Structure formats: structure tokens, C-alpha cells
Amino acid sequence: MPMQISITFLCLVLLALANGSYAGQIVIYWGQNGNEGTLMEACATGNYDYVIIAFLPTFGKGETPMINLAGHCDPQKNECIGLSSDIKSCQAKGIKVLLSLRGDTGSHSIDPSEVATYLWNNFLGGQSSSRPLGPAVLDGIDFDIEGGSNKHWGDLARLLKGYGMMGKQSKQVYITAAPQCPFPDAWIGNALTTGLFDYVWIQFYNNPPCQYTSGAISNLENAWKQWITSIPANKIFLGLPASSQAAGSGFIPSADLISQVLPAIRDSAKYGGVMLWSRYYDVQSGYSSSIKSYV
């Protein structure tokens, strides 16, 4: 009898391992290609734990904020409010949906209080008569800052967190960021030291000094170790292109990711999973499906 129990227990353990014992999650950016399918379709795949709506590129500098979702909808015609039902569908599946701020041109000198108030009232738990994505309440804000100014992003994160705690429903506002892998990041680096960021998905692509090249993992591994020991975020994610066409360099074939890269970083206490750019390229390549069981 003891031997039978041991064998049964071993079988259960092996079954659990076979069904995926890894704690990692997958993040996807959606919104920059009208041919990538709907947001609801993306969430229906079951492959993603976080979907980042990209982007809100126009904000601050006295400009009227304006989202840009490529061919999906025209915000100037108020078409994007139709996404509200998609967002709620995703959230009903337990998927967190965030809005990404894209900063890569101009000075982007922001008044953090003004921007935080706008984001809270128009995308999060506040009230506005002109919510671009309709009444759905997003789960947080992503900072994809790749140019402009490196000032005030920490202040903006702090104000957004504060709004979340003051909300009537006291819903957590997730704050995330997508820095480049050279450390420290030139634009968002200072803000990341605040400890306000829940998740950081680092772009290990288009950055040869710290990305993977065929058979050579040391550059990526060294950069990864520096990030996880230096940034007080809850979880750090490995940001990758979802296909070789999605970035100029840094694509990791799924076989290499599974056999070489993930085993080298997955035991980190702060390891969160993999971020992919973007849903359009993932549709073409099937990348998330090929790695999901190993993340």
C-alpha cells in the first residue's frame, strides 16, 4: 500500500508539472495594427494575462490628449467607445487591461497633476462625459517612454496610485513600464527607483549590447541580473518581439527561448514572465502559443 501511494503521488506531481508549473505570465500589446483582430478576440485566445492598449501618444505639453489605435477606430469620431464591451469581456476572464502612454517625440514636459487627473477621469475610476474608450474602467497605466523628457514620470505614477486608493471602489491602479534593456533607462530610469511600479517589462530587443544572439545568452543574462537587483518592482518581465519582423533585432526563436533563455532567468524571485510586441505579429507567428506552457 505505501508503494502504491508513493506512485500515485509521483504521478500527480508529474501531471502537475506537465500542465505547467511555471509561474510566469504573458503580456501583449494590442492596438497598433487594424489587421490584428479585435481586443475581444485577443483575450479569447487564453494566451495573455495582461493586454496593453497602445497608445495614448498625445498628452501633456498643452495638447488635447488623443489616443491612437491605428486602424481599429477613429477617436475623433468617438468610435473607440465601442471597445468598452471588449475591455469588460477581457476583464471578466481575469485579464488585466491597461493603457500605454507613448512618449517618444518632442519635449513631453508634463504637468503630472494635470495628466493624472485626465487619465483617472477618462480611463480609470473617475468620471468624464468624454471617455475615449467608453465606460469600462481600465486596470492601470503603462509607461512606454522612449524619448522626450525624463522628468515627472515618478510624480505621475505616485498621483495615479493615490487616485486608486481614494476611489470609491478602491480599485488598485496598476502602474507598469517598458524600459529599454541598457541600464539604467535614459527616460524612465529615475521613476523606476520609486518602487511605485508593479511590473516592468524590459525591451530586450533593438538593443544589441543587452539582447540575446544565437547561442550567446551572456549579454541578456547580465542585463537581466542588473535589472532584478536594482529595481524595486514586484515583477520583471522579459520583453521580446513576437516575430522576426516585429523588431530590427533581438527576436529569439521559441526553441531557443525555451531551452536556453527561460531556464537562465526563470528562477529569479522577481521573474514575472514574457512581454510580447505585439498582437499583430503574434497572430502571424503563433509565438505565444508555442511558449505559453514554458513561461
Helix (H) or strand (E) run with residue 273 in it: strand 271-277
Q: Which amino acid is at 48?
A: Y
Q: What SS3 class is residue 171?
A: coil
Q: Which residues contact 19 (CB under 8 A, 6 or more apart)?
A: none
Residues 227, 233, 235, 239, Cα dihedral to 10°: -50
Q: Would you call 171 exposed, middle or buried from its count of C-beta atoms within 10 A (0-12, 13-18, 19+)?
A: middle
**Residue with grid cell 506537465, as numbered in its chain:** 18
79 is catalytic: no
Q: 182, 206 in Cβ contact below 8 A?
A: no
Q: Which residues contact 200 (CB under 8 A, 6 or more apart)?
A: 176, 177, 178, 179, 192, 227, 231, 233, 235, 236, 237
Q: Which amino acid is at 136?
A: A
Residue ranges of the alpha helices (H) in the chain? 2-18, 39-44, 83-92, 112-122, 153-166, 189-192, 218-230, 254-256, 262-265, 279-285, 287-291
81, three cell numbers: 467607445
Q: Which residues contact 239 (CB under 8 A, 6 or more apart)?
A: 178, 181, 201, 202, 203, 204, 205, 274, 275, 276, 277
Q: Which of 63, 79, 114, 146 is catalytic?
A: 146
Catalytic residues: 146
